[in-house]
Amino acid sequence: MKTPIQYNPALCFITLLTLLSFGTSARALDKPIDPCKAPQNTMEINECAKLELTKKDKELNAAYQALMQRLEPNGKFDDTDYINVKKSLVESQKNWMKYRDADCKAKYTLHEQGTIRGIVHLSCLKEKTEKRTKELLEWDKI
């Protein structure tokens, strides 16, 4: 003998919410979410900062590569020791990266008990990277 299904309002409500959440999730999969558009929480703020830092790192690398290409003899009578200039620049860039990472890590450590630590760290890296990019763009200018 079959038992009749009883109406349970709470179960109906939970089922409705579940179905609605599937619909929302499916729509969310249709287009990528841009965390920089309107960050709603710490994770999205940090994700946006990571994306911005990646962009700034690419700009830094482009400026560095362009500078290295400019450090070539400027004619027959240019007796500048470009090999040593480049070696020194490579070494200074490595040291700068160590400094940047250590300094920003110190800021992270200062705030490691709070949720702001990630954005403080990423903002520090981004600011220092922007400054270094500008330095490299102007490095060989008189």
Residue 13: is its pLDDT beyond 70? no
Fold classification of 39-138 is: Substrate Binding Domain Of Dnak; Chain:A; Domain 2 (1.20.1270)
56-72: pLDDT as tens digits: 999 999 999 999 999 99
83-130: pLDDT as tens digits: 999 999 999 999 999 999 999 999 999 999 998 999 999 999 999 999
Residue 27: is its pLDDT beyond 50? no
Assessment of whether the complete model's pTM goes beyond 0.85: no
C-alpha pair distances (Å), 127 with each of 4, 62, 64, 104, 120 = 67, 17, 17, 10, 11
